[in-house]
Amino acid sequence: MVRLHVKHNDESQFLYDTTVTVPVEELVKEVTAIYNGRLKVSRICSEIEELAEHGVTLPPNMQGLADEQIEELKLKDEWGTKCMPSGGSVYKKDEIGRRNGHAPNDSMKNVFLKTVDEAKALMSKKQLEANVSLTMDMVNDALDQLRGAVMIVYPMELPPHDPIRLEFENNEDLSGTQAGQMVIEESNAQLWWAGKELLRKHKLVDYVGKNEKTKIVVKIQKRGHGAPAREPALSDEQQKQMMLHFYKRQEELKKLEEDEDVSYMNSDWADSSSLKRQFQGVKDIKWRPG
């Protein structure tokens, strides 16, 4: 088993297990799918949190308008009455005018928030710290959990323009958004290791050798960005420990130098009264209580 520590830029993303015999073409597809899948889960979680607070999204032509503008333009949210949450709604006005304000009640809201926490935990970078590798099955499990929560609270489905529904149907439009900039299309993805691009026509064994018990740090990025910066020889933690050791050593040497500078003061020859006491016969006399 070869373990890949996947990074994007200098930020750790997840661990992925594979074998040395895997074609790089297949490896790029799998790693890119998991990378983009984690982003999708994150986007859906963010939208579901907003859904839990302010209800479904308004039609695009009503978003951002004040109530007076909607009334003046005689616009109507036909989906607002069709898509009411199970158990009734609680009105919580969306100040930015993106959602209709008919939020789920506390019970249904908790269904959303609990599921979001579970999905986030499944995709969390803490999995990397716990030495848990990510798979596409785990990404799909997180998506299924979120989809199930939406079906519980909104069994009639969300409006066709709602971003959560669009995400589940893979019809999301991320053009012109920061979220869209983060996505890496599989056809445009590259994996780099040790300053070398892993070319799709090769197999992983061509780069790392035949040892299955190998762990490497790979970086995923978009084609055309050039070679990413090499990984430092020492991790941040190792550098901190080295600097701490160096500082302690410097302090020890400094203390030794100070001790050496004044140690002669304890010598007999440095005692200005030593000769006088010797003539008086009172040298090395020790006093003790009677």
Predicted local distance difference test score (pLDDT) of residue 105? 95
* CB contact at 8 A, 107 and 90: no
What mean pLDDT do residues 252-256 have?
A: 76
Tell me the pLDDT tens digit for each residue of 51-66.
999 999 999 988 888 8
- The confidence band for 77, taking pLDDT boundaries of 50, 70 and 90, is confident
Structure tokens at 236: 């941040």
Closest Cα partner for 220 from 27, 19, 17? 27
What mean pLDDT do residues 248-269 have?
A: 67
Distance CA 136, CA 1 (A): 17
Q: 239 or 158: whose pLDDT is higher?
A: 158
Left (φ > 0), alpha (ψ -120 to 50) or beta: where does 288 sit?
A: beta
Structure tokens at 86: 């199970």
Least confident interval from 32-36, 158-162, 217-221, 254-258 = 254-258
Distance CA 198, CA 217 (A): 12
**Hey, which bits of 157-242 come out as E strands?**
189-193, 196-197, 214-222
What mean pLDDT do residues 93-103 have?
A: 92
Beta bridge pairs of residue 219? 7, 192
Q: Is the pLDDT of residue 213 over 80?
A: yes
**pTM score, whole prediction:** 0.78
Q: How many helices and strands in the chain, by DSSP H and E? A: 10, 7
Structure tokens at 48: 């579901």
